[in-house]
Amino acid sequence: MGSVIPNSEIFSLSGPVYLTTTLDWANPHHRRSVAASFVKAVYTLQRDCLMKRKGPQSLAASWFESFHYKLIGKLVDDRSIFGAIFANKYPPSYYNHLVQKPPRYVVAFRGTLIVGDIWLEDLKLNRQVSLNILEQSTRFQIAMQEVQEMVDRVGNENIWLVGHSLGSAIALLVGKNMVKQHGIQFANSAETYLFNPPFPFAPIELIENENLKHGIRIINSLVTAGIAFLVNGPQNNDSFDALSSWNPHLFVNESDFICSGYIGYFEHRLKMMELDAGEIERLATQYSISRLLLDELGYGSEPLHLLPSAYLTINRSPSDSILRAHGIQQWWKPNIQCQSELHQFRQLTDFSSGQMFC
């Protein structure tokens, strides 16, 4: 007897089927939903492999073919499929009538899978994220090489980077490195969609007392800015500065302690401006205490979570469990209650935020 297939793997039962006839590439909700579907395709490719589902029995194809894409490559490490590359089936001229065009290529990365012996490797990589040494992993190095070769071949404007959880950490790190290498050309052309990206610090968002949370963040900013000033003086962090024109899309759930730290990270910058403490936050937002101390010991590596700018989308729909709050499925639900803001960091003490709802 074969294993029971969960409905969550079947596109026709759990996917954004409504988009197969109404897809509007200019609609932010539609773009987010399709991006999330590509990530789901990678999860399902790995499950197809584990369950030996091939040909008509495989389930992954519907998650990308429904939007007119084909699989052109799998990203594989020693143990598993952790990513995939998809290409649009139609030539660019097919979409000339559209103001907002779909990407020609999508590079997608899955998150942790608790199956077989794969979960051990995934947990090891999650530990590397928390220790800020993901750059040392084979998985990141494979991903970086694939994206670099693709950009060299087809250009920046034709590519999306998408990921969920651990996969979003890989996509974020790849994106950061690409922006530093290619500058504003990549920053303004390629799009990055990061679902439930891990925020590798204590989950302050779980504290219910708003004043206590704010106080903890102020103390952290004061200490970080003080150490940064002592070590580097008042100048900007060049590495951080190089990312200022890049606006990746971050999708977080306020009930998910794994990623909800990004909410406080960006909101705190605005509150510090209201307190006329923008100069302190200018330094604090560019560094972390651990980075500064490790730099002095010669072991420094740029913290993954430090971002000058981003489109932050918060899912405020009620979640009945951490699994649902952290899951990829929430991001293509048609009745999702979310709030989106563009947070931008500029030189000196100029921070800004623009709000919209979806």
How do strand 191-195 and strand 159-164 relate by DSSP bridges?
parallel
The rounded mean pLDDT for the chain is 84
Phi, psi of 87 (to 5 degrees): -125, 140
Q: Are 340 and 42 in contact (CB under 8 A)?
A: no
Residue 1 pLDDT > 50, yes or no?
A: no
Strand order of the β-sheet with 105-109 is 69-76, 81-88, 105-109, 159-164, 191-195, 249-253, 310-315, 338-345, 351-357
Rounded distance, CA 37 to CA 43, Å? 10
**CA nearest neighbour of 271 among 329, 210, 209, 355:** 210
**CA nearest neighbour of 306 among 181, 158, 179:** 179
Rounded distance, CA 270 to CA 350, Å? 10
Percentage of the chain modeled with pLDDT above 90: 52
For the four alpha carbons of 312, 316, 317 and 321, in that order, the dihedral sign comes to positive
pLDDT at 285: 64
Q: Which residues contact 295 (CB under 8 A, 6 or more apart)?
A: 231
Q: Which amino acid is at 112?
A: T
Percentage of the chain modeled with pLDDT above 70: 76
Give the 3-state secondary structure of residue 276: coil
Residue 41 pLDDT > 60, yes or no?
A: yes
Q: How large is the average pLDDT for residues 167-188?
A: 92
Q: Which of 3-12, 61-70, 276-285 has the highest mean pLDDT?
A: 61-70
Q: Are 287 and 115 in contact (CB under 8 A)?
A: no
Q: Exposed e or buried b for every residue in 185-203, given b needs 16+ CB within 10 A?
A: bbbeebbbbbbbbbbbeee
What residue spans define the domains of the chain?
1-195, 201-358
Give the 3-state secondary structure of residue 229: helix
- pLDDT tens, residue by residue, 287-327: 555 554 555 445 556 778 889 899 999 999 888 898 999 99
What DSSP element (H or E) covers 171? helix 166-182
Q: Are 70 and 18 in contact (CB under 8 A)?
A: no
Rounded distance, CA 26 to CA 271, Å? 32
Residue 77 is encoded by which pair of tokens?
A: 């490490």
Identify the band that residue 189 occupies on the pLDDT scale cut at 50, 70 and 90. confident
Residue 148 is encoded by which pair of tokens?
A: 């670099």
pLDDT at 137: 93
Q: Are 224 and 230 in contact (CB under 8 A)?
A: no
- pLDDT tens, residue by residue, 75-125: 999 879 999 999 999 999 999 999 999 999 999 999 999 887 788 889 999
**CA nearest neighbour of 40 among 77, 66, 18:** 66
For the four alpha carbons of 129, 130, 133 and 138, in that order, the dihedral sign comes to negative
How do strand 249-253 and strand 310-315 relate by DSSP bridges?
parallel
Determine the Cα angle at 319 with ends 314 and 324, to 5°: 90
Q: Which residues contact 333 (CB under 8 A, 6 or more apart)?
A: 317
297: exposed, middle or buried (Cβ count in 10 Å: 0-12, 13-18, 19+): exposed
- pLDDT tens, residue by residue, 206-263: 666 666 666 666 666 555 555 555 555 555 566 777 788 899 999 999 999 999 989 9
Distances (CA, A) of 24 to 29, 30, 352: 9, 6, 29
Identify the band that residue 265 occupies on the pLDDT scale cut at 50, 70 and 90. confident
